[in-house]
Structure formats: structure tokens, C-alpha cells
Amino acid sequence: MRARSGRWAPGHEGLDPGVVPWYRIGGIAPRDNAVLHVVGVALMLVSAGMVVSAAVGAIDGGADVWRDVGSLSLVALAGSLIGVGLWTWTRVPTRQSSAISFAAVAWSWLAASVLGAFPFVLSGTIPWSRFDDALFESVSGFSCTGSTILTDIEGVPHGVLFFRSLSQWLGGMGLIVLAVAILPALKVGGLEMIAAEAPGTTPDRLAPRVRQTAIRLWSLYAGVTVVIAVALIAVGGMSPYDGVAHAFTTAATGGFSTRGASIAYFDSALVEGLLVVGMLYCGANFALHWKAVQGDWGVYRRISEFRLYLGLFVGLVAMITWVNRSQLTGLSTNLRQSVFNVTTLLTSTGFGTSDFTRWGPAAQVVLLLVMLPGGMTGSTAGGMKILRVQVLLKHAAREVRRARHPRAVTPVTLGDTAVPEEIVGRVLAFVFLYLGALLLGGILVVITGADPVTGISSAAATIGNMGPGLGRVGPASTFGEVPRLGRAVLIWLMLFGRLEIFPTLLMFAASLRWWDRRRSGVRPVARGR
């Protein structure tokens, strides 16, 4: 059985290389395109978020309500039309490589960021001549970085400002994880897509089916967000608007705030305490949280990464408190500032209560080091992830032992589990690429005109999805202090950090391979029945 000339028979492409169906272009079937299909889904989800934000803007009112609601509605309409078109015109092939799955996620992230930039310029928040700044703000949102170029946060229309926080919530657990949960059509290659958005050494499967795993992850994520919002409103005294917006960015460990002074605006130890608990929870592995919800509370004690996570938190708080003993007067003030700032940087959230760039050099060096590890694998936090740092340290210790006992067989272990050498090699490659990208990005930002402290710390803050850095990009400043070309470099570092190095590189590798096939007119090789 084969396809007739000029017609399409589902499932029989490639049986007769001489027959070219109507939809083939240069030997490539555009309908079988996982990348465009996933991009379409991402655009639809982002457009739905804009509709919700427009409703918030309409209810809130304000002087710019029509521009606020109009800009979000217009972009939502355009995004939904493009998204529905791509989704209906294409489909996910029955067989696809992991590289294509990772590339699909990366391109969908970039497409969502581009679409999310338009409300900023259409609402007049950012002029059209600086669309790259709008793109910076949008990428910072979806990547959960929290770096901003906006100087007057309170002057931004409330609908656009709400979408700014919502973009971090969508990016926290991942647009494609949500799509896998609600669209069974994406079940093919779904586990690879989940791994690309919630990256670790290996993806966690919480259920036999990938869709069930995605549903459980998003259900827990949404439930935690509701708990944080209720706590901030009912206990912390925030308004519903502020409470929900900060719940979005706390659960996503993103750090965007509805206030220019960030959390310092509320000047409440109770609010800070609630946020510390929320950030620490969301900076841990959500697979552990799900098992705990199911009744296995001992899972936290058994996992060495979680023990190291809490150990780092306690140790760093003690170190910063001791280093700042002469800088911050009063033990309670010192401890309060140390706890909050260590938490917000360790979990890569980026909320601010004080300008830590005014602290002493020793404290700033410690804070710069805090930016590297980040949270746990399987969390919404950025950074290299504590598990990778743990494997790196174990590998280094093993090499020291091997120097003393060359014939000894000493695997890298985490608890009672031996880590496969393939995973160890992958971790080492990732850490090398991560630090290389950080150093290269920092150098490029310095070349564009930034001072060395600002350049290196801004690179560390963006690739680690931290938000504020040191120098001229501290909590009291904006990334508008970085030269324009430097901000273009930081946009890519944010994507590298959120999607991690390998999916972003595969984004280009898979696309180049597709383009080479298209140019050469390569057709699928006929296979026998």
C-alpha cells in the first residue's frame, strides 16, 4: 500500500520516494513538525495568560485601563491565532529524537518570550525603539530570572504588571509540562520535554504515564501557589492583587514584585518569614514534595541532596551573620537580613529587602558564591543545582583517593546509591559548559562597557536566574545600567540558565540539521513492510 500521487495517506510517508504529497516542501513534510507544534501550544497558553491579565486590568481600573486591557487583548488575539494555526497545521511525529524534543522546548520558550514582549511596548511601558528591552523583561519573566530594566514599577499598568508576574509562574513549572498535562496529543516525547523544562540528571516519573506525571507536578505547583497566596493575604496583610502576584513569583522562585522596593516596601518580618518558607519549599525537589504529600515524610531525611540543601542554608546564614556582625547593628536585624538574602539567592528567587551591595567585601564574595549552586534538581530554582555540585565534589574526592590507591574501584555514591559513570561525565560536562558560558558572558558584558564587578556578577545572576547581582546591578538598581549590547548577551544567558546548556545547544543543532535536509532535498529512505 502506498500514497497516491499528490495525496496524503496517513502513516505511509516514505514508502515510495518518487511520490511527493501536496504538503511536502523540498522532501520535508511540514505537517510532521514537533517544533512548530509545540511552539503553537506555547503561544496558546501564553495568550490565555494574557486574557486573564486583561481581566485583572479591567477589574482594577486605573487611568490607562483601555491601553492596558487593549494591549493585552490584542496580543492575546494575535498569539492565539498563530498558536492555533501552528497547532492544527502540524503534528508530533510518531517517532522523534530526544534532540528534537529538547529543541521544541527551547524554541517554544523563545517564541513565548517574543510574544510576551509586545504588551510592554503596546501599553507604552517601554518605547518601540527599545523593543530589545521589552524582550529582556519578557525573557527575564519566563526564565524566572527576575532581572528588570523597569525603573518605575508602580507606574506600569496593573494588567501588564500582573502578566509580568504570571509569566514567571507559567515558566516556573514549565509551559510544556502544563501542555503535556492538559493535551494528550503531546504524550509522544513528553518525558524528554519534561526533562528539558524541569532539568536534572534524570527526569522523575511520578506515575506510569507521562501525562499523569505532568498533572501531578502542576497540581502540586498550583496548590502550593494557592497556599502561599492565602498566607500572604490572610496572615501577611497583603492586598489580593499583591498577594496573588507575589505567590506566583514565590512558587516560581522568580522574584518579580509589584513594588519598586520589592519586599522592603511591606517592611514586615511576618511577610518575609512567609516568603522564606515558600522559597525554601519551592527550591526543593517537587518529586520529594509529592511523595511527602502521599505520606512518605521520611523521604526528606533519606535524600542526601535535601540534607545538603538545608545544610547549605544554615551554614550560609551563619557565615553571613558572622561576617556582617559589624556592618549590621543588632543581632535581630543582622539575622533577619541574612536569612532572607541567603534564601532569596540560594533559591534563585531574587526578592530584595536591602541593598546587599553596600555590605562588606567579604559578605559580597560569599553572596556571589551562593549564586552558583542554586536549588535542588526538580525544583523551580535556577543555578547549577545542588545535586550537580554534590556529584562534582564526590568525583573530586574520588580522584584524590585514586591518586593514593590507583587500583581501587571507588564509584561515586550519593547515599547508598552508586552514580553511573555516564551521569558523572554528563555532570562534569555541564559544569564545564556552565562556568565557561558564565565567564564568556561576563567578559562580553565587560567588553560592551560595564565594569568587571558588574559584568561578571550580572552574568552569574542571569545564567543562574538569580535576578539582582553586585556592582551596578544590585537590588536597588536595574539592569538598565548594563550597556545595551551587554543586555543582549544577558538575554541568551537567561535562556541558557533556564533551559540549561544542552537543550539550548540542541535547539540550534537540530534546526541546522533540519535546514540541511531541506536544502539538499533529502527524502526518507523507503522501508520494506
Average pLDDT of the chain is: 82
Cell of 301: 531525611
pLDDT band at 186 (very low <50, low <70, confident <90, very high): low
Contact 369, 482 (CB under 8 A): no
Higher per-residue confidence, 262 vs 61: 262
Contact 133, 141 (CB under 8 A): no
**What digits encode the pLDDT tens for the residues 388-426?**
888 898 888 888 888 887 777 788 887 777 888 888 888
State the residue for C-alpha cell 557565615: 319
Q: Is the pLDDT of residue 205 over 70?
A: no
**What digits encode the pLDDT tens for the residues 379-392?**
888 888 898 888 89
For 519, counting Cβ atoms within 10 Å of its Cβ (0-12 exposed, 13-18 middle, 19+ buried), the class is exposed
Query: According to the model, what pLDDT value does residue 351 have?
Result: 93
Q: Is the pLDDT of residue 1 over 60?
A: no
Query: According to the model, what pLDDT value does residue 277 have?
Result: 97
In degrees, rounded to 5, the angle at the alpha carbon of residue 501 between the alpha carbons of residues 498 and 503 is 85
Higher per-residue confidence, 185 vs 15: 185
Report the greatest alpha carbon distance in the chain: 83
Lowest-pLDDT range, 138-147, 168-177, 290-299? 168-177
For residue 50, give the nearest of 109, 145, 108, 120 by alpha carbon: 120
**How many whole angstroms separate alpha carbon 169 and alpha carbon 166?**
5
Length of the chain: 529
Cell of 433: 559548559
pLDDT band at 176 (very low <50, low <70, confident <90, very high): low
User: Quick one: average pLDDT of 296-304?
Assistant: 89
422-429: Cβ within 8 A, 24+ apart: 423/201, 423/202, 423/391, 424/391, 424/395, 426/201, 427/201, 427/388, 427/391, 427/392, 427/395, 428/392, 428/395
Contact 371, 435 (CB under 8 A): no
Lowest-pLDDT range, 134-148, 163-177, 242-256, 445-459? 163-177
Query: According to the model, what pLDDT value does residue 222 have?
Result: 93
pLDDT band at 254 (very low <50, low <70, confident <90, very high): very high
> Rounded to whole angstroms, what are the CA distances from 107 to 271, 433, 521?
37, 20, 24
Q: Is the pLDDT of residue 151 over 70?
A: yes
C-alpha count within 13 angstroms, C-beta hemisphere, residue 391: 23
Query: According to the model, what pLDDT value does residue 177 have?
Result: 72
Angle between helices 190-197 and 210-230 (to 10 degrees): 30
Residue 345's contacts (CB-CB under 8 Å, 6 or more residues apart) are 367, 370, 371, 466
pLDDT band at 315 (very low <50, low <70, confident <90, very high): very high
pLDDT band at 248 (very low <50, low <70, confident <90, very high): very high
For residue 148, give the nearest of 518, 461, 395, 510 by alpha carbon: 461
First CA to last CA distance, the chain: 9
Query: According to the model, what pLDDT value does residue 414 have?
Result: 79
Q: Can you tell me whether residue 320 is helix, strand or coil?
A: helix
**How many whole angstroms separate alpha carbon 243 and alpha carbon 441?**
35
Q: Is the pLDDT of residue 255 over 80?
A: yes
**What digits encode the pLDDT tens for the residues 112-143?**
999 999 999 999 999 999 999 999 999 999 99
Higher per-residue confidence, 509 vs 451: 451
State the residue for C-alpha cell 547515599: 415
CB atoms within 10 A of CB 448: 15
Q: Is the pLDDT of residue 438 over 60?
A: yes
Query: According to the model, what pLDDT value does residue 521 have?
Result: 52
**How many whole angstroms separate alpha carbon 253 and alpha carbon 466?**
9
Q: Can you tell me whether residue 16 is helix, strand or coil?
A: coil
pLDDT band at 96 (very low <50, low <70, confident <90, very high): low
Query: According to the model, what pLDDT value does residue 499 have?
Result: 80
For 295, counting Cβ atoms within 10 Å of its Cβ (0-12 exposed, 13-18 middle, 19+ buried), the class is exposed
Q: Is the pLDDT of residue 304 over 80?
A: yes
Q: Is the pLDDT of residue 14 over 60?
A: no
Query: According to the model, what pLDDT value does residue 94 have?
Result: 66
